[in-house]
Chains A and B, each alone.
Chain A
Amino acid sequence: MAAAAAPGGGGSDGFQTAAHRRLRILSGHLRSASETYLSASQCRGRTVATPEGSQSGTFPKRRQEILKWNGWGYNDSKFIFNKKGQGEFTGKRYRIGGLIFPLLKDWVEKNLGGSLEHKTTPKASLNISDVPPSIASEEFLQDLQNAKISYTQEAESRLFRAHGHCLHEIFLLREGMFKRVPDVVVWPECHDDVVKIVEIACKHNICIIPYGGGTSVTSALECPADEKRTIVSLDTSQMNRIHWIDEKNLTAHVDAGIVGQDLERQLGESGYCTGHEPDSIEFSTLGGWVATRASGMKKNIYGNIEDLVVHIKMVTPRGVIQKSCQGPRMSTGPDIHHFILGSEGILGVITEVTIKIRPVPEYQKYGSVVFPNFEKGVACLREVAKQRCAPASIRLMDNAQFQFGYALKPQVASIFTSLLDGLKKFYITKFKGFDPNVLCVATLVFEGSREKVLQHEKQVYDIAAKFGGLAAGEDNGQRGYMLTFIIAYLRDFGMDYYLIGESFETSVPWDRTVDLCKNVKERIARECKEKGVQFPPFATCRVTQMYDSGACVYFYLGFNYRGISDPVRVYEEIETAAREEILANGGSLSHHHGVGKLRKQWLKECVSDVGFGMLKSIKQFVDPNNIFGSGNLL
């Protein structure tokens, strides 16, 4: 696929598809264990580029072919109410594909006042003429072509990259249109391409917004409405190779555009993993993780992204920034990696990253613990943190989230299992006296060698027992983690029935955790009432990450907006109030989502005027003409 002219990512024709097929077969023959080791460290020749799709699951340039244009995830995967009015998940990509969720409907009706009769109708398909036209000078496009950079001005592709997954963005896609979308989408295939693109952009004074997986929930990808220059969306999806794996030092050098699931799968073929598993791992990219200071579910073993990166290469308008060696720790003044980590695309494009890898663990086990109440659960987590014996992941869901998880219990096949479930429920509520409307559940993942896992498991369960916790089986644990992958699909589903929702997070010292959770939920309830939300909101939280001195708390907020004329504004006001409450309770502005444009208003007070000035002066030096003009953070 030669440098593609608009429209379409590589005007594919019969000849090309045939060529692709042949190449795939060839590469199949060539594939050996060392394939990734051998891949050239320079830019691949364009003519022999791995055809799209062949590298097992990389998203094509035209992402809309397999991903929803107006919602989360794959086109074929979604929740529906089937003819019997039962919840069902379509598609075969997920383990829950094709399963029936008989309790879901009741839960929605009971907790959110949703009903099957009240349905919204989003736009069925995109009306191309609604998309703001592309503004780009001929000279600029000519320069792109000369540099052999693949690009497009096709409306669907531009719109696809005009947003992340904030509620207001998805809502606009369903019922409106953005004021401003990127004018051109470019697909660099390697670091050098990016260097060229940034040079051209500087020459023509063009605004670049880097685009990785598009899973931002901070309005970071939204184009500033008042941006008059040409906006280029720099899609890193074609920069997706693993350059090398270093088994001696356990590192891998990877293009920043690689998607999480591909990275893990490809490393897995060599018996390694990074262990970095954010909830968006299916779609988000390595570069995106670095740019937002991402956190993975299993950070207790592997660390957060800042612990994982060894070396970063970033292209800025001033040139390329990187360190000269791969020493594991340095005292060389403030760590320049920390200017890059969390820079949210305002300084440059992260192109290549050297990341730590670990052998794939031999054994993995899920687990869950029921606590009589949330306070006990938090106290237990605190003790686990104190003893530094946290499993790979441990998450404590509050009662509402537990009930929500329960509503997503698939229909069971045999009478025996349902009988067993009934017995379990009886034991916990009647025999142990847990109040089903107060109890909460922690879900656990253990990893390591089989022996160690079992030993570790016992240690954690012993601690839990001190706080009144009862082990509640692997199934519950596994279902808890499944929830995080399908929650975004559920949101889309809810929007069909006047239900809107969103998630947000914070980090907070241990001693304030319980109060923060309680106060934020109470504040949400109060704000909803004041703002005229007619049904009680679904406000729930989980302690989702733990540290020596505090925890990360993750909130879901959803409500039924029937009877409200401007639901998005109401939602945003409520989220703003919730954030104010979080800050007043000693919580941070964000634990891992980032600031973007959504939380800009608070950044200055959160880092002090001087701190803010430091960030500004870095931006000023690196990018004086605001080429990376997404307007995030500052």
Chain B
Amino acid sequence: MGHGMHMGAIRFFAFTLSKIFKSLFKSVCVNEDGMQKLQQAIQEHPVVLLPSHRSYMDFLLLSYVSYTYDLALPVIAAGIDFLGMKIVGELLRKSGAFFMRRTFGGNKLYWAVFAEYVKSILKNGYAPVEFYLEGTRSRTAKTLSPKFGLLNIVMDPFFKREVFDIYLVPVSISYERVLEEFLYAYELLGVPKPKESTSGLLKARKILNEDFGSIHVYFGQPVSLRTLEAGRMNRYPFNLVPRHVPQKPSEEIQKFVSDVAYKMELLQIENMVLNPWMLISAILLQNLPAIDFELLVEKTLWLKNLTQIFGGFLDWPDNLCASKAVRSALALHSNIASLVNGQVILNNKEMGFVTTEEPIFRRALFILLCGSYRNQLLNIFVRPALVAIALQITHSSRKEEVYNHFSFWRDIFSEEFIFFPGISLKDFEEGCFLLTKCGAIQDTPQQIFVTEKGSTVIAFLNAMFKPFVEGYQIICRYLSNETNEAFTEKHFVFGVRSLASQLLETGSTHCYEVLSSDMQKNALAALVRLGMVARMKTTDGFTYRVNKESLNKTAGMFESRIPVRKAVAARL
């Protein structure tokens, strides 16, 4: 814990960083108006920066940008693992990072001291506080469900009126190519994350020779916490206890904090800059093993249009023709996909790194890799897509029935994608609205019809989310067939993995993404939340037990799904 901001260290960092950035990236784009608003906000009230977290570069980048724009450098709450790095840890500390343990366990003292530290930085207001709502780097590039601990801490001085207001600034950082892309994919497949060490960093320097494209940093409109709170809370709970005495937040406050967290993440998503490669990966994954280049370009253009209708914030190189844009994206990601004889194929061999044995593993690695780029589209597509899925499953045009299915899937996928809690109907309406906007459906008060040209969109959306639907089905199947006794998460992950490997080997499924530990854990959490799996605390962690009855009941909903007809998906 503790930071010791030191201008010398910062200058040193700024110097080396600019060198490193220059060799790694083509450009760093920052939205100027957001920057100005941030400058303004810092003058007025304490500011909390809430960046998305995709890479270790994130906080170096933000400090670098702040330095470049002559802003007070943010004070960063970072995971304690950096501290293990010699010299660099100290340098990071001197450039304004302070470290916290990943878990506090029951250590109340640690929590209290840490909270007090963060609060006094905020109250004194000389520098913005920065931390990640997602808590950790998202290995899948999907936005992770928010963590509330730190947000609780920074909002506390406002609840207690130690400050008049706090500005929350969502920051969306998107990378054309993520530095840790391979590491993440390995990690998802169960190869452990290497420990942060200075020697590791030095070894990683060979990536300096590679091109990682450009980075977009988008500073969102500062959100006034006071405005968010206006009229929402009973204002007296803090009047009866001295303000320095930590209080367990009331339910009302927890709800409010959670709402704010989701709102901020949704803003991050809204402002996230998307790039052509993400579109290409989404299409590529639906057309394995290979797709004709011309067709790919055509489809990419189609998807570009759809993305923009759905409100995606797309950075399209406007001076380039479509085929050149696709070509340059492919060039940048030549380690994932390559163009061979007019066909675009997904690689299955990695240059360097670990040599892997099984072909399934290798295949999964590249699919997850590719998936991590597609995933960045999903949060924009998820609402219309769930409507599309519901339409496909129900085969009905009755709105009520479609909504029920939509609601079911939204509920199931609440760990997987970011939904604002409790507004299922609003999300449904938004999904319908977007589908209507792109001409895929006709929406009447009672019924929903798929239009003629809409079937393409519906099929595409179904295929896009098929890995998740199928993945969850496989996990459910595993649980209902294989386990009777209490099991641990480790056991569960292992079990699902081996079942999936079998299925993949026999060719009865093509859902490689079920091998991702992220999906497995999300599914487990969802099932626990929905009461299909019971979670019990034991001395060394948690054990789980399947609630067969309710699992079978829900399994019906899963199974009612009609397999996607490939014929429809193939043609535009």
The CA of A585 and the CA of B238, in the complex, are separated in Å by 9
Q: What 0/1 pattern do residues 482 to 524 of B give for CB contact below 8 A with A?
A: 0000000000000000000000000000000000000000000
Closest residue of chain B to A588 (Cβ to Cβ) is B239
- Contact A586–B238 (Cβ < 8 Å): yes
A583 touching B235 in the complex, CB below 8 Å, given contacts A512-B161, A516-B161, A519-B161: yes
A519 touching B242 in the complex, CB below 8 Å, given contacts A583-B235, A583-B236: no
- Contact B164–A523 (Cβ < 8 Å): yes
Closest residue of chain A to B240 (Cβ to Cβ) is A586
The CA of A516 and the CA of B243, in the complex, are separated in Å by 13
The CA of A367 and the CA of B215, in the complex, are separated in Å by 64
A518 touching B235 in the complex, CB below 8 Å, given contacts A511-B242, A511-B243, A512-B243: no
A518 touching B164 in the complex, CB below 8 Å, given contacts A583-B235, A605-B236: yes
- Contact B164–A519 (Cβ < 8 Å): yes
Nearest-neighbour CB distance to chain B for A147, whole angstroms, equals: 49
- Contact B242–A585 (Cβ < 8 Å): no
Residue of B162, B235, B236, B239 with highest tally of chain A CB at under 10 A: B239
**In the complex, what residues of A have CB within 8 A of residue B236's CB?**
583, 605
Nearest-neighbour CB distance to chain A for B122, whole angstroms, equals: 14
**In the complex, what residues of B have CB within 8 A of residue A586's CB?**
161, 238-239
**In the complex, what residues of A have CB within 8 A of residue B238's CB?**
586
The CA of A583 and the CA of B243, in the complex, are separated in Å by 15
Complex interface residues of chain A between 551 and 595 (CB less than 8 A to chain B): 580, 583-586
Residue of A519, A586, A605 with highest tally of chain B CB at under 10 A: A586
The CA of A603 and the CA of B32, in the complex, are separated in Å by 49
The CA of A240 and the CA of B239, in the complex, are separated in Å by 42
Nearest-neighbour CB distance to chain A for B160, whole angstroms, equals: 8
- Contact B235–A584 (Cβ < 8 Å): yes
The CA of A522 and the CA of B236, in the complex, are separated in Å by 20
The CA of A515 and the CA of B157, in the complex, are separated in Å by 11
**In the complex, what residues of B have CB within 8 A of residue A522's CB?**
164
Q: What 0/1 pattern do residues 506 to 521 of A give for CB contact below 8 A with B?
A: 0000011001101100
**In the complex, what residues of B have CB within 8 A of residue A511's CB?**
242-243
Chain B contact residues: over half helix, strand or loop, or mixed? loop
Nearest-neighbour CB distance to chain A for B125, whole angstroms, equals: 12
**In the complex, what residues of A have CB within 8 A of residue B239's CB?**
586
Residue of A512, A518, A523 with highest tally of chain B CB at under 10 A: A512
Nearest-neighbour CB distance to chain B for A589, whole angstroms, equals: 11
**In the complex, what residues of B have CB within 8 A of residue A605's CB?**
236
Nearest-neighbour CB distance to chain A for B524, whole angstroms, equals: 41
**In the complex, what residues of B have CB within 8 A of residue A516's CB?**
161
Residue of B161, B162, B236, B243 with highest tally of chain A CB at under 10 A: B161
The CA of A519 and the CA of B163, in the complex, are separated in Å by 8
Q: What 0/1 pattern do residues 477 to 517 of A give for CB contact below 8 A with B?
A: 00000000000000000000000000000000001100110
**In the complex, what residues of B have CB within 8 A of residue A585's CB?**
161
Complex interface residues of chain B between 231 and 264 (CB less than 8 A to chain A): 235-236, 238-239, 242-243
**In the complex, what residues of B have CB within 8 A of residue A580's CB?**
235
**In the complex, what residues of B have CB within 8 A of residue A523's CB?**
164
The CA of A523 and the CA of B242, in the complex, are separated in Å by 23
**In the complex, what residues of B have CB within 8 A of residue A519's CB?**
161, 164
Residue of A522, A584, A585 with highest tally of chain B CB at under 10 A: A584
Residue of A516, A519, A580 with highest tally of chain B CB at under 10 A: A519
Closest residue of chain A to B233 (Cβ to Cβ) is A584
The CA of A511 and the CA of B238, in the complex, are separated in Å by 13
The CA of A351 and the CA of B408, in the complex, are separated in Å by 72
The CA of A586 and the CA of B237, in the complex, are separated in Å by 9
The CA of A580 and the CA of B226, in the complex, are separated in Å by 13
**In the complex, what residues of B have CB within 8 A of residue A518's CB?**
164
Nearest-neighbour CB distance to chain B for A583, whole angstroms, equals: 6
Nearest-neighbour CB distance to chain A for B559, whole angstroms, equals: 53
The CA of A515 and the CA of B236, in the complex, are separated in Å by 16
The CA of A558 and the CA of B504, in the complex, are separated in Å by 76
**In the complex, what residues of A have CB within 8 A of residue B161's CB?**
512, 515-516, 519, 584-586
Nearest-neighbour CB distance to chain A for B126, whole angstroms, equals: 17
Q: What 0/1 pattern do residues 136 to 165 of B give for CB contact below 8 A with A?
A: 000000000000000000000000011010
Closest residue of chain B to A605 (Cβ to Cβ) is B236
The CA of A549 and the CA of B182, in the complex, are separated in Å by 61
Nearest-neighbour CB distance to chain A for B237, whole angstroms, equals: 11
Closest residue of chain B to A580 (Cβ to Cβ) is B235
**In the complex, what residues of A have CB within 8 A of residue B235's CB?**
580, 583-584
The 14 sampled A-B contact pairs (Cβ below 8 Å) are: A511-B242, A515-B161, A515-B162, A516-B161, A518-B164, A519-B161, A519-B164, A523-B164, A583-B235, A584-B161, A584-B235, A586-B161, A586-B239, A605-B236
**Residue positions of A touching B, CB distance < 8 A:** 511-512, 515-516, 518-519, 522-523, 580, 583-586, 605
Given contacts A516-B161, A519-B164, 5 further A-B contacts (CB under 8 A): A512-B161, A512-B243, A515-B161, A583-B236, A584-B161
Please give me the 6 A-B residue pairs with the lowest Cβ-Cβ distance, nearest first.
Answer: A584-B235, A586-B239, A585-B161, A522-B164, A519-B164, A519-B161
